[in-house]
Structure 1
Amino acid sequence: MFHQSQGRRRFLQNAAIFSTGLMASLLSDRPIHASDESVEAIVIGSGFGGAVAALRLGQAGINTLVLERGRRWPITPEQNTFATYRKPDGRAAWLSSTTFDGVPIDVYTGVLERKDENGITVLCGAGVGGGSLVYNGATYQPPRQLFYKVFPRDINYDELDRVYYPRVLSMLKASPIPQDILNTSYYDSTRLFLKQATIAGLPHRLVDAALDWDIIRQQIQGTKIPDAIIGENWYGLNSGAKNSLDRNYLAQAEQTGHVNILPLHLVTAITEVPRFGYRVSVNEINEFGEVVATKTFTSRYLFLAAGSIGTSALLVKAKATDTLPRLNEYVGLGWGGNGDSIALRSGFSEPTNPGQEGDGFATVQHFDNPLGPISILHGTQWNAPEGTLISLGMGIPTLKGKFNYDATTGLVKLTWPVNSNHPKDTKVLQATEYTYKLLNQKYQDKNPITVTLDASVIGHPLGGAVLGLACDFYGRVMGYRGLYVVDGAMIPGSTGCTNPSFTIAALAERNIERILRDDIVTRYPSSVTLRDKQVVNK
């Protein structure tokens, strides 16, 4: 097994050679601070976009530094890495005195941040692996017709379908729930959900999940402490059943010897360094959020992957404070919540195994809904009462949010234009309600079925630096050479009625391949071996 210490030594050796040569060649025309640490490429964030970029840069021989605000979360043999819903503590939330749903805890650099913005609440992951630590693992590709309801034709869906979606699927080892697991009592609610869809005549199917199904089987058999099969999810899976990015993309990136990940490094600002690249200002924090050091790093290539909220905030602040004055007028615009809504349907007489239920990753695809295309993804909740079904609705919103910089506080805030009388604001919710109505009406039950729908909290923030507007169609930020967006900020508010992680990663694979070929490898051809080029382009 490749040890992190060995990878770090190789990285530092390569970085030292790079920095020495670069200083000799560029000393005369770049105002680098003496305290700056220089590296060829920096990636801010380690979620789906950042992890993809880090691996491909490392394979290309580009010395790369990944700056991640959160800590590492290695799975332990004792299965005690993460907090649980049943016993929450500081590990559940990012520097908050409560969990996202209000349970008091100690303040710690936990895995999930709740951000209360203007008109909307957003949930964001934190830690090495980003959102993959807290997502449910659903790996859901949009169909062609819905992809082009969101993205311009300049982005080739057929190429994504043929090359990049399969590449990500292979890395995440995602697959549908096996039938033997689905048939257990731990998935009663999934089978009931599929039964209702069949009765209603609505298209439905199982969705690939980035889970290790053998570990799920061990939980069912009692040889592993249960988590995935009893509704534990958003705070991480202690069993190791979740194929999060720290265990595939990021692990392989570090194994190249060209990628170094610095946890607990919170980026506060980015600045252009003329005729060279970019300076990144960073607070190194401890696990309680206290600043223990301030640092600056410089790089020729800078990849923004701090999530839609984080990346957008950095760019909007940089534009407002003139550290990146040439950013265009589209920076901070085009934000959306993926049409997310959570539904609790109650009153079913058939068993749903309350509090002891796994997520079977089944979806209803009501794409011909007369009010707009909708998908309903079945979910779980650890404390759901008997006779209830939980699900996530996803649509294609047309209303857009905007990020603004407040000079008095130095903070960037998202504004979501909440207006119940606005037809664009209510259309997705109305379409979602219509689909639930069909599911409930067709399914005959002796009890009345009630539906509670909530769209005030979303877990799929998208936009703020959108492809074709703030960036070109490969994530190059307009007006700046060597500056790229590779995360959910590049997505125009929706990924076509699907969970966004799969599409973010596929686009990141597509974009980094082009960036390496046209922007980086051709600039430093001697630093990339033939073998590395073959790895990048396979």
Structure 2
Amino acid sequence: MARISTPISEIKEHYEVVVIGSGYGGGIAASRMARAGRSVCLLERGREIVPGEYPATLAEATPEFQVHHPDGHLGSRTGLYDLHVNPQQNVMVGCGLGGTSLINANVSLQPEPQVFEDPRWPRKVREHADTLLKDGFARAQEMLRPNPYPDTAPPLPKLQANQKSSERLKDKHSFYRPPINVTFEPLPDNLNHVGVEQQPCNYCGDCVSGCNNKAKNTTLMNYLPDACNHGAEIFCQASVRYLQRDGDGWIVHYQYVGTGREQFDAPTLFVKADIVILSAGTLGSTEILLRSRDQGLALSGELGKHMSGNGDILGFGYNNDDKINGIGFGSHSGKDIGPVGPCITSIIDMRDETDWRKRMVIEEGSIPGAIGGAMVPAMAAASAELGQAAESGPLAKLKYVAREAESALRGPYHGAMNRLQTYLIMSHDDGAGVMALDEHGQLKLEWPGVGEQPNFEIGNARL
């Protein structure tokens, strides 16, 4: 796959548009601005990592972790998996050309219409929900090409198990296969609609560690090369620090990271722009704006407040009687493991509830093979500490222990770990998170009592 980024040494002094970030926000903005004939510069703090280079083993994945925590920062500033550790809620984001689209679970589901009835949305968004916003959804669908897991594809135990779970819920809700940004069918000459090579999904289950099969429709496979095709210049390892007004334009201050300069508090580099599109994600954009305000940029006192965590809940059904096959291939052969499938392939849709606190979706997931081995002792320990057994009695305990022993001896594709169902819930929290800069100048999230909100209690009860 041809690389599309340009060496930072070739960056110009001025562009009409500077786009910060390369995920769903920045990738789309760069594509649209370049198509409109503007001179576009895109700045991405991570590296350009192409399919075939994503970690497939724990040894490969470990150096790709970077951690922001109360005592500072650990790991490489360009590590793909960027974990923000906070007292009440942790956040994982992607760091690379393509942003978090590189490591998300592919679902491309449109919000219910009532979401945009909330008065907290800008008036222009609410007024155009049935016109411009609807047109925007159609444009995104055309570029991302989402489609549900096909009936012609191999049956997936984790999908079948989630359907079984939906049938056991007391309140009946819609169960279906949601649209996901994955290529399933061969393409003419193996080239997609923007001229990038793509292959059909091989059902490996490694979506959230990075797709090495060229099947995942990340922004690296569509919007970003489209922007490049229309003249946009893309620069990686450029971590934007703050924005400064320059008459009617802007000065974008950035550090070239991954080279050691950032460790010595080196002076920032800069590029000038008529227009800046700040699209570095919920955490990244806010951090840049908070730092810009500290540098004198006039911004609202509400900056950083009212953050939502998307009402996310991660849960596990461990050591089930049913085989799930929910651990990705990693570096193993799919012939030995059998199809795992894309990370998410089915959904229990509860968004029709009258009470917004009860509105949520429950989706099944997969664990990437790179961390499958590490999950064996972790899940056994979590089960012993927190687990609630579905069956009691000496025979049931013997069965559980035997399956755990099999996993410990033979690995995650056997025994208790091969019977692990991963659940992902998206719901509505109260949006009361507060983002601020800590003493190290990095972003921190404070959200006392977040886990006691009704949506989390309801979600846990349903799981």
d(CA) in 1 for partners of 2:213, 2:259: 23
What is the Cα deviation at residue 344 of structure 1? Answer: 0.4
Matches within 5 A, 1:364-375: 364-367=348-351, 368=353, 371-375=357-361
* Structure 1: segments with no counterpart, 5+ residues: 17-36, 98-104, 217-223, 437-538
d(CA) in 2 for partners of 1:199, 1:405: 45
Whether contact under 8 Å (2:183, 2:201) holds in the other structure is no
Task: Specify which of 142, 146, 152 is matched with residue 174 of structure 1.
Answer: 146
Taking structure 1 as reference, are residues 205 and 295 closer, same or farther at Cα in structure 2, changes over 3 Å only?
same
d(CA) in 2 for partners of 1:303, 1:198: 45
1:301 is paired with a residue whose SS is strand
Taking structure 1 as reference, are residues 170 and 61 closer, same or farther at Cα in structure 2, changes over 3 Å only?
same
Deviations 1:320-349 (A, max 9, x none): 331x1x212221111110000101023532
1:179 is paired with a residue whose SS is coil
Match in the other structure for 2:173: 202
Whether contact under 8 Å (2:350, 2:359) holds in the other structure is yes
Whether contact under 8 Å (1:374, 1:431) holds in the other structure is no
Deviations 1:365-415 (A, max 9, x none): 123276521111111124361333111111111141112234x54344222
What is the Cα deviation at residue 285 of structure 1? Answer: 2.3
Whether contact under 8 Å (2:17, 2:276) holds in the other structure is yes
Whether contact under 8 Å (2:241, 2:291) holds in the other structure is no
d(CA) in 1 for partners of 2:166, 2:132: 29
Deviations 1:269-295 (A, max 9, x none): 21111x231111111123677578841
Match in the other structure for 2:320: 348
Q: Which amino acid aligns with 1:138?
A: V
d(CA) in 2 for partners of 1:85, 1:352: 21
Taking structure 1 as reference, are residues 149 and 428 closer, same or farther at Cα in structure 2, changes over 3 Å only?
farther
Match in the other structure for 2:305: 333
Deviations 1:152-194 (A, max 9, x none): 483233225631112101101110011121x43xx11101212
Task: Specify which of 399, 420, 425 is matched with residue 393 of structure 1.
Answer: 425
Matches within 5 A, 1:289-300: 294-300=268-274
2:92 is paired with a residue whose SS is strand
Confirm whether residue 233 of structure 1 aligns to residue 204 of structure 2: no
Match in the other structure for 1:380: 366
Whether contact under 8 Å (1:215, 1:239) holds in the other structure is no
Confirm whether residue 427 of structure 1 aligns to residue 454 of structure 2: yes
Whether contact under 8 Å (1:379, 1:392) holds in the other structure is yes
Matches within 5 A, 1:67-82: 67-75=43-51, 79=52, 81-82=53-54
1:138 is paired with a residue whose SS is coil
What is the Cα deviation at residue 88 of structure 1? Answer: 3.2
Q: TM-score, normalised by structure 1?
A: 0.64
Match in the other structure for 1:158: 130
Q: Which amino acid aligns with 1:417?
A: P
Matches within 5 A, 1:193-342: 193-200=162-169, 201-214=172-185, 229-257=203-231, 259-273=232-246, 275-286=247-258, 294-322=268-296, 324=297, 326-342=298-314
Taking structure 1 as reference, are residues 401 and 85 closer, same or farther at Cα in structure 2, changes over 3 Å only?
farther
Match in the other structure for 2:81: 112
Whether contact under 8 Å (1:369, 1:435) holds in the other structure is no
Match in the other structure for 2:18: 42
Match in the other structure for 1:413: 444
Whether contact under 8 Å (1:401, 1:415) holds in the other structure is yes
Taking structure 1 as reference, are residues 95 and 416 closer, same or farther at Cα in structure 2, changes over 3 Å only?
closer
Taking structure 1 as reference, are residues 272 and 91 closer, same or farther at Cα in structure 2, changes over 3 Å only?
same
d(CA) in 1 for partners of 2:203, 2:261: 33
Whether contact under 8 Å (2:183, 2:200) holds in the other structure is no
Deviations 1:234-278 (A, max 9, x none): 221111111111111110101112x111101111121111x2311
Confirm whether residue 192 of structure 1 aligns to residue 165 of structure 2: no
d(CA) in 2 for partners of 1:59, 1:348: 51
1:213 is paired with a residue whose SS is coil
d(CA) in 2 for partners of 1:87, 1:228: 23
Deviations 1:190-244 (A, max 9, x none): 012123314543211111111111379xxxxxxx999963432222111111111
Q: Which amino acid aligns with 1:195?
A: K
Taking structure 1 as reference, are residues 226 and 90 closer, same or farther at Cα in structure 2, changes over 3 Å only?
farther
Q: Which amino acid aligns with 2:289?
A: L
1:43 is paired with a residue whose SS is strand
2:60 is paired with a residue whose SS is coil
d(CA) in 1 for partners of 2:132, 2:321: 43
Taking structure 1 as reference, are residues 427 and 228 closer, same or farther at Cα in structure 2, changes over 3 Å only?
farther
Taking structure 1 as reference, are residues 392 and 233 closer, same or farther at Cα in structure 2, changes over 3 Å only?
same
Matches within 5 A, 1:478-517: none
Aligned residues: 380
d(CA) in 2 for partners of 1:211, 1:107: 29
Taking structure 1 as reference, are residues 363 and 287 closer, same or farther at Cα in structure 2, changes over 3 Å only?
farther
Q: What root-mean-square deviation, in Å, do the aligned CA atoms of Structure 1 and Structure 2 show?
A: 3.3
